[in-house]
Amino acid sequence: MAASRFVLGLLFLAAMSVRAQEQNRLLQQGDEMFFQKQTDIALPLYEEAYKLDPRDNGALIRLIRAYSDLGWLRLHKDSSAEHYYRRAAVYADTLLAVSPDLPSAHFWKAMTSGSLIPFGGVSEKLKLGKEVRLEAEKTIELDSTFALAYIILAIFERESAQLSWLERTIARVIFGEELHGSFQASEEFLAKAVRYDPANSYAYYEMYWTYLAEGRKEAAAESLKRVISIPAKSQREEQQHQLAQNYLENLRKSSE
């Protein structure tokens, strides 16, 4: 009997090893496609890897990133963006449930909640906004060098600074505090993001929007140049480059 249990144990370990090897193969193939800027092809590979181990952080993070990127890429092209963003949010909830102490789990929860803001009414937008801020702050509490979390807080500050009186009234109820927002705070958060990750194109891209909101066109243009100077590593970043070039050209024309 003991020998039989031993053999069964060996077979179980062998099966687990084969499963892990297959998952790694799928994740590697997915990464190859993702970094070749073929996110649509990477996604099903990540899905298959996830099915082999639904609690694997690596597979979950890749799925969230891919769905989020596809949502962003389709945001102004067709009606499928919301579908991709909501799928990303589902996987973000799973990641947070599986690894509640993982900084990136809180970051992706903040990121995916923020992505859903355009699809809700005023009250829902503000409730999601509260979730975004709390999760981004939790990310930094767990890892003070997490650059992307500072970018989220910078966006939060900039957008809060531009709320209408109605939105501020609702925000007071939802947040339990006056919500003013500050362009200066947005700049400070973005400066921290760049300090911890100097090659982060997303930080410079958001700097453009903050400077533009302040009317600082020269600083906005310099931020766009920094975006363009950083090599694109994904399909989303490639599209971001194109947008940055378009915005830069528009700034040049408006200055003539």
**142-155 confidence digits (pLDDT tens):** 999 999 999 999 99
Angle at 43 between CA 40 and CA 49, to 5 degrees: 155
* In-domain check, residue 184: no
CB atoms within 10 A of CB 245: 14
Length, in residues, of the chain:
256
Q: Are 111 and 92 in contact (CB under 8 A)?
A: yes
Calpha distance 131→2 (Å, rounded): 53
Whether 223 is in a domain gets the answer yes
Could you report the per-residue pLDDT of 11-49, keeping only the tens digit for each?
444 455 778 889 999 999 999 999 999 999 999 999 999
Mean pLDDT computed over 164-188: 72
141 within some domain: no
Domain endpoint, select from 99, 133, 148? 99
The DSSP H or E segment spanning 28 is helix 2-35
Q: Answer whether residue 144 is part of any domain.
A: no
Q: Where are the beta strands (DSSP E) in the chain?
A: none
Which residue segment(s) compose the domain that 58 sits in? 36-99
Q: Tell whether 122 is covered by a domain.
A: no
Domain boundary among 99, 116, 137: 99
Residue 178 pLDDT:
61
Task: Report how many domains make up the chain.
Answer: 2
- Summarize the confidence of residues 101-121 as an average pLDDT: 94
| Of 78 and 218, more confident | 218
Q: Can you read off the two tokens belonging to residue 181? A: 């927002």
Q: Which of 71, 99, 127 is the last residue of a domain?
A: 99
